[in-house]
Structure 1
Amino acid sequence: MGLLFRAIEEDEPGPKWSGLFSQYRDAYLTWWAREGVAVRPTYMEGLQALRQHMPELVSLYEQLVSLAGGGDREARFLSFYCPPRYLSGCSQAIWPGDKPLLVRNYDYNPYAIDAVLLKTGWQGRGVMGMSDGLFGLVDGMNDDGLAVSLTFGGRQEVGAGFGVPLILRYVLQTCSTVPEAVKVLARVPCHMSYNVTVLDAARRFATAYLAPDRPAQITHAAVATNHQERVEWRSHARLTATVERERYLLQRLTLHTEPEDKFIRAFLRPPLYSLAFDRGFGTLYTTTYRPAEGRMEVFWPGREWVQRFSQFAEEQTYIAYPQAVGTGF
């Protein structure tokens, strides 16, 4: 099996975004309604939640809803409010050298990814990152030099809150520094448990442990895998090897500081790089964010994209993944 990754730039919401949404609409709305339409929040409930917690995004949300066709289900989906459950793997870490560098692997179901690197200038703020639902982001950086990335937090609880990709978008649209970002992460409700790492151009960093049933915890952790302070969902921890990956990264951080290229290459090999596509946790890509340079890279084995705010290339590449036994991929 394989995926076509595309890098797309559009300063303001317009025909490129609308065309992408049209391509994905059926898949998005089928996933969103998989437990029944009635269990998802109404349009007004989603809009009111946005007005309360992310008021700066409301006008942008309304623009995107209009471009998506203005339908009720499209509007409810794009609010990202109380979406269905979703789980990912993922590993991320801050390089311990003197330059700000965030590296992450995105481990997820290959049938549930946008595979779009989107650069936008929405509301006058430059943002580029890997999109989710074409509004949210699973990792990204803004033109003020703030980078952000997520991993699943390894807990089964679900509550009233937003899907975390929209929270990442909100952070990048409204914040410039880590102190600003952690204030947002501490107050915006998240519908499941996620770990969000933020890094800025001054090399300040933090990892927020978000949860729907307890206050967010802000830490100075430089590594995040798929649990929070301790393992709470043991079967998921065994399935994803979250403890083993965390230990591996912590060992690399506590030994002598290795060159950044060697640190990055470690994410392209086991135990960080995963081939568990049959369980929905294969590594779909590796990204690096360099806030002080306004630069990011996307890596696959044997292939690399380099993108900058000052020089962004619209391009595409097809990535073939190993055949997973017994899955029908």
Structure 2
Amino acid sequence: MRQQHKTFRAIEVGDGGDGRWAAHARALWQGMEGLLTAEGRTPEGADRVRALFRAHMPELVPVLNRLTGQLDRPEAEAFLTHAALRPFSPACTQIGRDGILLRNYDFPPDQCEGTIVSSCFLRPVIGMQDLLWGLLDGMNDAGLAVSLTYGGRSVYGRGFAILIVVRYLLETCDTVDEAVGRLRTLPIAVPQNLTLVDPAKAVTVFVGPDMSPTMAPDACAANHQHLPVTDEQERDMRTRERLHAIRAAGADVAAMLKPPLYRSLDEQGTVTLYTACYQPVEGRVTYYWPGESWHQSFGDFTPGFRTVGWGRVG
């Protein structure tokens, strides 16, 4: 049995201006800069993505400037727009029900930042950060929670990585309806599924570079959208099986920690990295691993570290 470990950390960064975010980001920068596309490294490409960010996320421009200035790297601004990043495709499962957002995030451990961040860039937000200030999932002080899964289609277009979209929605929206409205104005680079929850509503929305935001049949998502799933895709990702399982289980943490929803470490190095259960009305989130959990909230956020491990036969 071979073991693989990952250390998750929880940090507070405030409004990003006091050096805490910058210290964390500088330590990660060397591993991040390779994710910038070739276009993003050119002056013309950097100008394009800056203009795209200013046009579509103007509220976050002061934050972008604040973070870029502290990171002090030549390509930092283009990177932090998340509009010139190589695509990624996590195989996740999520459900919104009864004011709860529950999700599994499946990805290779060494390719995930693994940082739980409490921030107040524009408002209080807690979430699982990736790529320096994007979010894989999170909640805000208005009681809105959002998480993502890959949409399962191999198309790519000009637009934003979904991580910054999750951040933007949580920073600027109070409700599901407001967030869905904002989604209609944003160009998205890769097909993704977003599940959104507030005190009154839970929905899943399919987005992508070749489609307008489309409501899913219910507030559940795995790794497909409106098109039929091929047999090959199902063998590789088991997306239909997982969607059927989560619909049957509902917002049940125990079910998320068992197959078929829980994914053990495989030959490709992918595993269920964490299970997150957001209760945004209460401002609470719990991250789960088999046999372990970590509670965080707006009222009691605790910085620290947790190291978890996964076994693999081989």
- CA shift for structure 1 position 287: 0.2
Match 1:176 to one of 174, 177, 185: 174
| Structure 2: gaps of 5 or more residues | none
Match 1:286 to one of 275, 283, 297: 275
CA RMSD of aligned residues (A): 1.8
In the other structure, the counterpart of 2:102 is 103
Conserved in 1, the CA contact under 8 Å of 2:157 and 2:189? yes
In the other structure, the counterpart of 2:183 is 185
Look up the SS of the partner of 1:322 in the other structure.
Answer: strand
Change (3 A) 1:324 1:17: farther
Equivalent pairs, count: 310
Conserved in 1, the CA contact under 8 Å of 2:40 and 2:79? no
Of stretches 45-54 and 139-148 in structure 1, the one that deviates more from structure 2 is: 45-54
- CA shift for structure 1 position 232: 4.9
Conserved in 2, the CA contact under 8 Å of 1:2 and 1:320? yes
Structure 1 position 312 matched with structure 2 position 314: no
Of stretches 243-252 and 133-142 in structure 1, the one that deviates more from structure 2 is: 243-252
Aligned sequence identity (%): 33
Counterparts of 1:324 and 1:82, CA distance in 2? 38
Change (3 A) 1:138 1:91: same
Look up the SS of the partner of 1:72 in the other structure.
Answer: coil
Counterparts of 1:166 and 1:92, CA distance in 2? 19
Conserved in 2, the CA contact under 8 Å of 1:186 and 1:217? no
Q: TM-score, normalised by structure 1?
A: 0.89
Counterparts of 1:131 and 1:281, CA distance in 2? 18
Conserved in 2, the CA contact under 8 Å of 1:160 and 1:190? yes
Conserved in 2, the CA contact under 8 Å of 1:205 and 1:220? no
In the other structure, the counterpart of 2:228 is 231
Change (3 A) 1:324 1:63: farther
Counterparts of 1:154 and 1:211, CA distance in 2? 10
- CA shift for structure 1 position 236: 3.4
Conserved in 2, the CA contact under 8 Å of 1:126 and 1:143? yes
Counterparts of 2:295 and 2:244, CA distance in 1? 29
Look up the SS of the partner of 2:277 in the other structure.
Answer: strand
- CA shift for structure 1 position 186: 2.0
Conserved in 2, the CA contact under 8 Å of 1:109 and 1:277? no
CA deviation map 1:234-263 (0-9, x unaligned): 53332110010011122234xxxxxx6xx1
Conserved in 2, the CA contact under 8 Å of 1:225 and 1:242? yes
Match 2:67 to one of 59, 64, 69: 64
Structure 1 position 76 matched with structure 2 position 74: no
Q: Partner letter of residue 55 of structure 1?
A: P
Look up the SS of the partner of 2:146 in the other structure.
Answer: strand
CA deviation map 1:70-96 (0-9, x unaligned): x3311111110031121110000123x
Name the structure where strand makes up a greater proportion of residues: 2
| Structure 1: gaps of 5 or more residues | 254-259
CA deviation map 1:120-177 (0-9, x unaligned): 0112x00000001121100000011000000000000000110000000000000000
Conserved in 2, the CA contact under 8 Å of 1:41 and 1:76? no
Counterparts of 1:220 and 1:155, CA distance in 2? 18
In the other structure, the counterpart of 1:257 is none
Structure 1 position 12 matched with structure 2 position 15: yes
